[in-house]
C-alpha cells in the first residue's frame, strides 16, 4: 500500500500513542480488520485493553490487533454486556 504524507504523519502519531514500532503498526493496518473474512478497510481501529492503559493511550503490550469500526463497536458493546450475560442468555431462552 502506498501511504500519502498525511497518512504517514498520522501513522507515526498513532504508533507513538500506542507505543508500537511504526513498521509493525503499518503492517498491522495493511492487514486490515483481524475478524476472519472481513474486508472493511475503512475506519480501522487499534484494539487494546482499556483496563490496562485507558482509552486514548497504550503501553503497547495491551494492543490486541486491528479492527474495523463495526467490529470495534461490537466488542465494546459485548464487554459492557458481560456482567449481564446470564440474564441475557436466560431471557433469550424464554423468548
The DSSP secondary structure of 2-33, one letter per residue, reads ---HHHHHHHHHHHHHTT--HHHHHHHHHH--
pLDDT digits (tens, 9 = 90+) for 28-84: 998 899 988 776 667 899 999 888 988 778 999 999 999 999 899 988 898 888 888
User: What predicted TM-score, i.e. pTM, was given to this entire model?
Assistant: 0.79
| Nearest residue to 18 via CA among 44, 42, 36 | 44
Q: What's the pLDDT at 56?
A: 79
The answer, yes or no, to whether residue 11 has pLDDT greater than 70, is: yes
Domain 5-94 sits in CATH 3.30.1150? no
Kindly list the domain boundaries of the chain, sorted by start residue: 5-94
How far apart, in whole angstroms, are the C-alpha atoms of residue 48 and residue 53?
Answer: 9
How sure is the predictor about 95, in pLDDT bands with cuts at 50, 70 and 90?
low
Amino acid at each position: 500500500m502506498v501511504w500519502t504524507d498525511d497518512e504517514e504523519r498520522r501513522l507515526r502519531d498513532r504508533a507513538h500513542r500506542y507505543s508500537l514500532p511504526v513498521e509493525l503498526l503499518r503492517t498491522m493496518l495493511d492487514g486490515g480488520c483481524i475478524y476472519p473474512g472481513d474486508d472493511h478497510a475503512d475506519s480501522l481501529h487499534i484494539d487494546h485493553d482499556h483496563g490496562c492503559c485507558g482509552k486514548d493511550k497504550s503501553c503497547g503490550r495491551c494492543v490486541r490487533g486491528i479492527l474495523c469500526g463495526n467490529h470495534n463497536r461490537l466488542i465494546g458493546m459485548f464487554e459492557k454486556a458481560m456482567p449481564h450475560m446470564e440474564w441475557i442468555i436466560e431471557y433469550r431462552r424464554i423468548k
